[in-house]
Structure 1
Amino acid sequence: MIYLDYAATHPMTPEALAAYVEAAGLPGNPASVHSAGQAARERLEEGRARVAAALGVDARTLIANGGGTEGDNHVLLGVARAWEETHGRPGHLVTTLTEHSAVLAPARWLAAQGWAVTLLPPGAQGRYHPGQLAEALRDDTALVSIHHANNELGTVQDTAALAAVAAVRGIPYHSDAVQAPGVLPLDLTGWGVTFATFSAHKWGGPRGVGFLYVKRGTALPAVTLGGGQEGGLRPGTQNTAGVYAAGVALTHAEAAREETFAHLTRLRERFLQGVALIPGLRVNHPPDASPKVASVTLPGADGEALLMNLDLLGVSASAGSACAAGTMQPSHVLTATGLSEADARSTLRFSFGRATTGAEVDAAADALRQAAEWSRG
């Protein structure tokens, strides 16, 4: 099987798996004071320190959690809670039409609770601009949440410029940066973001592990209640093995990031050349998108049938649309950027990783040509 769905999940690397097995064998709870507990605590904090070093931040600014969805929810709901406690009323949230559902779902929930929510429409191929954001801000804007790299198109935002617009008004800025580590350069401090969310399984770490960056001096209430773990902001027994393995994986990913970027750039260009002669095929991602992602539309083809045919031919990819209740729903990202519902249903996303080879990309291009013929025939 040729795996080209790295934007969904990066397979766990051998280094991460070995680290996970090692730490999982430790018997202690990292919150316990005895020696077994402290041995677990050492691995937990080593993993956190590795992630912090790779991201260029103080380890004390990272909350270990269950992944990007939890982090996104914590930021939106936590900031909203703090605002309402201070002001006694709902405030205003600015986010975008192309966010992950982990942001859009809590945004919709806040709207149902009386919050004003502005969803910025994207420009060409999913870009947002500082002037557009500046016009959307209000005196009661409590938070701006805009992703750094889009999971479907790979479009990379100018996060530093966008965060600077919010900073002028003293408004916290959140970046869902899940798709960036190991591929794109990160500079959380230089960007000036207040919050950023990450998931370890996007860089070769284990699933169900993530990190929330909270700028020093920022007040963020807990949204779950329990013990005092993670500074009281994320109660519950920490995933020692997961955090340690995540740190090991990110250390390796960031050390090879420039090489990985060049490798993925070559792979995507090779893939696009291989599928260029498919009748009517269109490329959706911008040329400077993250090289991890290739988004292509085959007008008139059925996306679900394409995926099934590709799977039969030994290629794992994903649709530019999500399957809900057995019906292919058009991707909100693609329709927001101007694709028709029909074209959104005919869109596929191929995403590459460090282990992907040129031969695999060639075989995937051949398979897509054949799958397109089957689907349209």
Structure 2
Amino acid sequence: MKILTVLGARPQFIKAAPVSRVLRENHTELIIHTGQHYDSNMSDIFFEELNIPKPDYYLGVGSGNHGKQTGEMLAKIEEIVLKEEPDFVMVYGDTNSTLAGALVAAKLHVPVIHIEAGLRSFNKKMPEEVNRIMTDHVSEFLFCPTQTAIDNLTNENITHNVFNIGDVMYDAVLYNKGLAAEKSEILKEHGLSEKGYHLITIHRAENTDDIHHMKNILDAFSKIEEVKVWPIHPRTKHKLESYGLDLSSVPNLKVIDPVGYLDMLTLEANALKIVTDSGGVQKEAYFMKVPCVTVREQTEWVETLEEDANILVGTDVEKLLAAVEKKVNPSYKEAFGDGKAAEKIVELIKG
């Protein structure tokens, strides 16, 4: 088979690594990197650490409004699909890169493989939700990470070639966590001790595009006494600067540049708690058995909410503080498969 894989953002690089490793044993894969994440700390380092082959095509689209960004991707991906004539186009998750790859393939009658299909937050104000729904409805193979995702698709009358294969991010964590423990020096570099800090990641537009949300989040962080480590997303940093919000006023806050995958796994594994609005980080927290506080009103990953493994708080200051301070001891069930999703995907595509 000849597979054309479309990637554009950090979580997609992580998800693609185990699948590419298995796929390339017997098949041809070409990678398009749209450039949606173009900062080297958000992109290049993941290809290096995860041993993902270098992209065959780099589109350099960069950031921008949704219409402009997606439109540029559509035009450039279409040229490549017409040239390469792949058997399938493979997309991951819910970014604009995902939607662009899926739409191009569907219009050119190339079957779409959607990995991480069936997720729903039921909030269409989130651009990711729109991307997920549209991608699922044009896909030929839909690989779901959980039974909840299967149920969501069934409710939308999508039942053909739908499979619960577990979560490819779990594959990646199992494969790399030992390597991270062995190689990462991130704790030493920043003077951090095991279970001596909270880890923060904030980047979702629903938070960063709202000054009141960001003020509430920083207000809550100011009242958390423990050390807080924040590998800050470039877009989040730019938004805070545009709002005139000063992170230096938050006590015990270490703001650091974005980190690579192995360093991120190390920061997650050794945190007291993780405070995030990222879907991927919610799952990684669950895989690492570290309690999570999610700064959103909904989550696609409802499995993580059992036994307070993950607590939804929105941007309410008091809820956020209470969740960070709450003593929890979740059991962390095997809700995301057995770590062999990549093998199942390749076997099912082969037919």
Larger radius of gyration: 1
- Please give the TM-score of this superposition, normalised by the length of structure 2: 0.35
TM-score (norm 1): 0.33
**Which gives a bigger RCO, structure 1 or 2 (Cα 8 Å, sep 6+)?**
1
